[in-house]
Structure 1
Amino acid sequence: MTRVSVIGCGNMGGALVEGLSRADAYDVTAIDLDDAALESVADFAAETTTDIGVTRETPLVVVAVKPDAVPAVLDDLDLRGDQTLVTVAAGVPRAFVAERTDARVVRVMPNLAAANGNMAAAAVEEGSTDEVRDLLDAVGEFVEVEESEMDVATAVNGSGPAFAFHLIDAVKQAGVEGGLDPEQAEVLAAQTFKGAAETVLRDGRSVDELVDAVCSPNGTTIEGMEVLWESDADDAVEDAVSAAAERSRELAEDYDE
Structure 2
Amino acid sequence: MVHTSVIGCGNMGSALVTGLSKAGGHTIVACDLDPDALAAVADYADETTDDISRAGEADVVFVAVKPDIVEAVLGELDLSADQTLVTIAAGVPTAFVEARTDARVVRIMPNLAAETRDMAAAATGDLTDEVRVLLDDVGEFAEIEESQMDIATAVNGSGPAFVFYFIKAMTEAGVAGGLDHEEAQTLAAQTFKGAAETVLQDDRSADELIDAVCSPNGTTIEGMEVLWDSGADQAMTDAVAAAERRSKELSADFDDE
Report the TM-score when normalising by structure 2.
0.98
For 2:129 and 2:226, the matched residues in 1 are separated by 46
Query: SS at 1:114's partner residue?
Result: helix
Aligned to 2:77: 77
Task: Supply the distance in 2 between the matched residues of 1:29 and 1:155 (Cα, whole angstroms).
Answer: 29
Q: Show CA shifts across 1:82-108 (max 9, x none).
A: 000000000000000001000000000
- Following the alignment from structure 1 to structure 2, what is the Cα–Cα distance between the partners of residues 111 and 150? 14
Say if 2:20 and 2:137, in contact at 8 Å, map to a contact too: yes
- The question of whether the paired residues in 1 share the 8 Å contact of 2:120 and 2:141 is answered with yes
Deviation at 1:141, TM superposition (A): 0.3
Question: Structure 2: which 5+ residue stretches go unaligned?
Answer: none
Q: Deviations over 1:173-220 (max 9, x none)?
A: 001001111100000000000000000001111111100000000000
Partner of 1:13: 13
Query: 1:249, 1:131 → 2: CA distance?
Result: 29
Counterpart Cα distance in 1 of 2:126 and 2:99: 13
Partner of 2:233: 234
**Bigger shift: 54-63 or 219-228?**
54-63
Helix, strand or coil at the partner of 2:121:
strand
Question: Could you say which residue in structure 1 is the equivalent of 2:164?
Answer: 165
Partner of 1:112: 112
CA contact (8 A) 2:17 2:45 kept: yes
Q: CA deviation at 1:74?
A: 0.4
Check whether the contact 2:31–2:55 (CA below 8 A) recurs between aligned residues: no
Secondary structure of the residue aligned to 1:62 is: strand
Question: Paired residue for 2:3?
Answer: 3
Q: How far apart, in 1, do the equivalents of 2:106 and 2:55 lie?
A: 16
Gaps of 5+ in 1: none
Residue matched to 2:96: 96
Shift of residue 55 of structure 1? 3.0
RMSD (Å), alpha carbons: 0.7
CA contact (8 A) 1:55 1:79 kept: no
Give the number of equivalent residue pairs.
256
Superposed structure 1 runs of 4+ greater than 3 Å apart: none
Counterparts of 1:102 and 1:241, CA distance in 2: 34
